[in-house]
Amino acid sequence: MATTNLQMTALGMVETRGVVASIEAADAMLKTAHVTLSGQEDIGGGYTTIFVRGEIGAVRSAVDAGAAAAKRAGELVAVHVIARPQAALESLLPQGVKISRSAVD
């Protein structure tokens, strides 16, 4: 099995409640360190998780900045960094930046 660049980079996640907090967190993460925005997952109830990839030091720095920004702008739910995600996890993660819209009844 071939090793991809995504498998060799750290994964950072910041989960917020509220879209403003998630956008603020993503903006801070991208401005703070050399990371790539790899996805956004809206799970309902206002909860949104932002995913970034990059070198472990950059991802940790970005996640710390994103967490601080989310606290200022709204509600921070969780943060986590995985240094070297197992290849089997890749299928569970968003494949690119996705913005899902909820249907209005």
pLDDT, tens digit only, all 105 positions of the chain: 444 555 458 999 999 999 999 999 999 999 999 999 988 999 899 999 999 999 999 999 999 999 999 999 999 999 999 998 888 887 787 776 444 334 444
pTM listed for this prediction = 0.81
Q: How many CA atoms lie within 13 A of 2 on its CB side?
A: 3
pLDDT given at position 89: 83
Q: How many CB atoms lie within 10 A of CB 28?
A: 22
* pLDDT value of position 43: 87
Which domains, from first to last, does the chain contain?
Answer: 6-87 (3.30.70.1710)
